[in-house]
Structure 1
Amino acid sequence: MSATIFKLIPEDVHFVPDKGNVEQVRSYLVSIFPSATVSVEQTEEIQFVDQGENFVQIACPNCDAVLDLKWWHNAMDSAWQSAFKELDVQLPCCSAHSTLHGLRYDFPAGFSRLIFEIENPEEEVRTEHLRRVEQLLGCEIRMVNARY
């Protein structure tokens, strides 16, 4: 059986909130999605937060060109060598500079040290839910809609 997991991550890949803020967000998500499994993962190292089967393509945030997956895999291998501390890349399509986190993933993906997961919720995560999480955390967030 497939699982749908909404992953909420800070836009700032290095952001680490206070433990109290993390617990407030977890409690809020449990109250909004009582039948879902809500979990929090916080790590010392940055990790790639993927969209699973929802992956379609990756595009350049500067010129919108679809990026070659071999180039992306090589860039990911290089970033992995630094435990994803170095995410800067020069894009092959237009030579612009970006980060692996700043690429346009379709569906969204990203990098983070903090992940809130909502597994198999009965309803969608709405914009007002995301805005409230941002208020509680004190930072902008990105939602990764994953399917496994």
Structure 2
Amino acid sequence: MSDDVRAVIPADPRWQPDRAAADRTAAVVAGLVPRDENVDIDVTWHETLTVVDCGQNLERIGCPQCGASIDTEWWADLLSGRFVSL
């Protein structure tokens, strides 16, 4: 059985909430989960701009400004570390 993962990523790549706010958000989300479900909630903290992989559910990557498609091979190279920076 596969996992469902939800990531909350700020729209502004130069901003992130402080750790206390992230922990409070995780607590709110935990309170929304039915008690009979076994759910793990993890807060992952990145100090720098980081690529976040959505796994095998990737269908398309698009530019949020113009809507143009971004090549998925470019994305795979980025994830593999073949690119040093964005």
Aligned match of 1:43 in 42, 46, 50?
Answer: 46
User: Percent of aligned positions with the same letter in both sequences?
Assistant: 25
Q: Which has the higher helix share?
A: 2
| Unpaired runs of at least 5, structure 2 | none
Greater relative contact order: 1 or 2 (C-alpha under 8 angstroms, separation 6 or more)?
1
TM-score normalised by L of structure 1: 0.44
Aligned match of 1:52 in 38, 51, 55?
Answer: 55
For residues 56 and 26 of structure 1, do their structure 2 counterparts lie closer, same or farther at Cα, with a shift above 3 Å needed? same
Within 2, Cα distance between the matches of 1:48 and 1:40? 16
Superposed CA RMSD in Å reads 2.6
How big is each residue's C-alpha offset from its partner over 1:71-127, in whole Å with a ceiling of 9 and x where there is no partner?
Answer: x2488367x413xxxx3xxxxxxxxxxxxxxxxxxxxxxxxxxxxxxxxxxxxxxxx
Within 2, Cα distance between the matches of 1:75 and 1:53? 15
- Quote the residue 2:8 is aligned against: 8
TM-score normalised by L of structure 2: 0.68
Q: Which has the higher strand share?
A: 1
How many residue pairs were aligned? 80
For residues 73 and 50 of structure 1, do their structure 2 counterparts lie closer, same or farther at Cα, with a shift above 3 Å needed? closer
| Unpaired runs of at least 5, structure 1 | 88-148
For residues 14 and 3 of structure 1, do their structure 2 counterparts lie closer, same or farther at Cα, with a shift above 3 Å needed? same
